[in-house]
Amino acid sequence: MNTDTLFRPFSLKGMELRNRIVMAPMTRSMAPEGIPGQPQVDYYRRRAAANVGLILTEGTVVDRPASRNLPGIPFFHGDKAMAGWTDVAAAVHEAGSKIAPQIWHTGSIRGGKWEPETEVESPSGLIGPNDPRGHPMNEADIADTIAAFASSAKQARDAGFDAVEVHGAHGYLIDQFFWSGTNQRDDSWNGPTIKERSRFAAEIVKAIRTAVGPDFPLILRVSQWKQQDYTARLTTTPDEMTDWLMPLVEAGVDMLHCSQRRFWEPEFPELDGADGLNFAGWAKKLTGAATISVGSVGLNSDFGGAFVGEGSQTSPLDQLITRMERDEFDLIAVGRALLSDAQWVQKICDGHMEDLHGFKIEDLQTLT
């Protein structure tokens, strides 16, 4: 198998990547009191030293009450946390890679039995359709949240990061505004179409762009599926997808990180068949933005098994190579395979495919 297509360089607004492989953001929840330290420095440096092109950090939270749903999720605000993240960025750069934090707000989503000290917030006080939790956000809450995202993005730039990724997927706060099942507001933050429900995300993007300037790359992670409902779809046609994503690109997004559970599945099979464009492929075609694809790369089962204690075995990369060779999307994010094997990218680069191994569930418990 010729894997050269994975190792082509890529450039975005001055961010020069040595290859097309991205470390996907994966919640680790191992930052005591929200402060990253030497374990995080070493964890990210190991992947950078093994030839990962771009590292997207685990989700880190903006400065809002109840913005995280697990106690070990790191902050991306405050002097102590930012000192730790500055060390992480420096270590990744020293090892030859680029890095972007993923900044987020978990909204009303639960992370288990743990509860934050203050009540959770969401567009309409819902965790899912007809499932109340927390309080609906008022105008001041919304304005403060937008400002918090912009502040964290500026701190990323100031700390030496190469880009910033905003988490707008998987049923967390921004996605709760997108989804009609959780956005039941009767004001201008909602509307009958996905275009109106995209306003909150667009305002965050605009505020970030103002804070970081025109040349700092801004990535937005989006998904159709939700943790609350894996079968949920925000859009069912290309026209609807354009109405969803194009206003976000026009607001200042440079790259869309299009999350799906299995990257090889076509987004609209009824239009172009079983080998049709995936989510990232359609997003690139419709908006002209650069895109990242993701979803069970190199593994034979999706991440859902991890929630019930199941690992995954290796899977061939043939379909990935085919899609990358036709430039269906620009970058490919790898999650669990890189979590279990820091050397995953280097092994592929060196042609040692036989040395790849699958995802072990116990690796979720360590920062190795």
Q: How many CA atoms lie within 13 A of 41 on its CB side?
A: 14
Measured between alpha carbons, how far is 90 from 32 in angstroms, rounded to an integer?
A: 21
Residues 191, 194, 199: CA angle, nearest 5 degrees: 70
Three-state SS for 255? strand
The string of DSSP letters for 136-201 reads E--HHHHHHHHHHHHHHHHHHHHTT-S-EEEE--BTSHHHHHH-TTT---SSTT--SSHHHHTHHH
pLDDT tens for each residue of the chain, 368 residues long: 899 999 999 999 999 999 999 999 999 999 999 999 999 999 999 999 999 999 999 999 999 999 999 999 999 999 999 999 999 999 999 999 999 999 999 999 999 999 999 999 999 999 999 999 999 999 999 999 999 999 999 999 999 999 999 999 999 999 999 999 999 999 999 999 999 999 999 999 999 999 999 999 999 999 999 999 999 999 999 999 999 999 999 999 999 999 999 999 999 999 999 899 999 999 999 999 999 999 999 998 886 666 566 788 999 999 999 999 999 999 999 999 999 999 999 999 999 999 999 999 999 999 99
CB 75 within 8 A of CB 37: no
The tokens for 358 are 């699958």
pLDDT for 307 equals 58
CB 147 within 8 A of CB 207: yes
Known catalytic residues? 172
The tokens for 271 are 């239009």
pLDDT for 308 equals 61
CA dist 274 to 133, 165, 269, 271, Å? 39, 30, 6, 9
